[in-house]
């Protein structure tokens, strides 16, 4: 883990999101908000379609960070802004592409800037993580 | 509308939540993880979201109109099966921007006297 360098970029990884994953995440996280499962409800509150939980997008970015860090146990801090919804139409698979760059090294930790892209738009803003290198 | 007198107030849960291996495994599996020895970095939201909603039920915050603006996690150590957490929720700030209420809630998970996870959620209550 000690070979992290400032400016180093990590290869992007694509995560696939479909309606089934939204239901699985709702059950695992306890967030059963119908805007993430019920198309009619989502449209009734002004959304274009069912949208993914922002926290699912963040959790998938967290999986990417955990893999870089050598395990979830090394992740000390993680933050993101939900800038755009990830729209998940029925019977389709949406691609979420996560990548990262080392912004700083200090106190035995690496700071990462993360990018999350879906349908050519950034869906997370100011996405950052701090991982322990020890 | 959130009661402005509640800004700065902390609400502490009356009962604790025990983290099960099943809960960690289920959460991690959804993300495609294959290692379940510690919880994924965002796992604590599965405890704090429901707890904070309950703790702030009487606050005047209209949860049905809430959109998640941003989220931050700080972990002093990984969460593991067997952790027995008391959740507290603090309303750190509340303001109105373009007719929408912007409320920042900090949720802490304590295991005994040890603060294991702090999370900050910015909630946008749509006008």
Q: Average pLDDT per run of 10 along chain A, which is 134 residues long?
A: 86 98 97 94 93 97 97 98 96 98 97 97 98 93
* CB < 8 Å to A15, chain B: 32
**How many contacts (CB atoms, under 8 Å) link A and B?**
93
Q: Which domains does chain A have, with CATH numbers?
A: 9-17+53-132 (3.10.129.10)
Distance CA B67, CA A81 (A): 12
A87 DSSP 8-state letter: B
Which helix (DSSP H) or strand (DSSP E) does residue B92 occupy? strand B84-97
CATH architecture of B4-125: Roll (3.10)
Distance CA B122, CA A30 (A): 19
Its ipTM equals 0.95
Quick: pLDDT tens for B28-73. Answer: 999 999 999 999 999 999 999 888 888 888 888 888 888 899 999 9
pLDDT band at B124 (very low <50, low <70, confident <90, very high): very high
pLDDT confidence of residue B64? 80
A69 to chain B: closest CA residue: B41
């Amino acid at each position: 883990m000690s070979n992290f360098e400032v400016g180093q970029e990590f290869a992007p990884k694509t995560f696939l999101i479909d309606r089934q994953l939204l239901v699985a995440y709702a059950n695992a996280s306890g967030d059963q908000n119908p805007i993430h499962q019920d198309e009619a409800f989502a449209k009734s509150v002004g959304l274009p379609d069912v949208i993914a939980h922002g926290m699912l997008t963040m959790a998938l970015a967290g999986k990417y960070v955990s893999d870089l860090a050598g395990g979830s146990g090394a992740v000390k801090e993680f933050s993101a802004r939900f800038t755009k919804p990830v729209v998940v139409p029925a019977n389709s698979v949406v691609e979420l592409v996560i990548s990262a760059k080392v912004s700083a090294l200090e106190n035995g930790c690496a700071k990462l800037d993360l990018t999350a892209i879906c349908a050519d738009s950034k869906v997370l803003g100011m996405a950052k993580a701090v991982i322990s290198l020890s | 509308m959130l009661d402005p007198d509640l800004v700065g107030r902390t609400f502490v849960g009356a009962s604790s939540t025990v983290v099960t291996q099943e809960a960690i495994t289920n959460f991690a599996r959804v993300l495609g993880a294959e290692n379940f020895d510690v919880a994924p970095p965002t796992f604590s939201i599965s405890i704090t979201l429901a707890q904070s909603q309950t703790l702030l039920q009487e606050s005047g915050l209209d949860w049905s109109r809430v959109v998640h603006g941003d989220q931050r996690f700080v972990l002093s150590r990984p969460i593991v099966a067997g952790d027995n957490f008391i959740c507290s929720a603090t309303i750190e700030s509340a303001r109105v921007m373009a007719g929408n209420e912007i409320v920042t809630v900090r949720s802490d998970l304590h295991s005994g006297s040890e603060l294991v996870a702090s999370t900050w959620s910015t909630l946008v209550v749509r006008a």
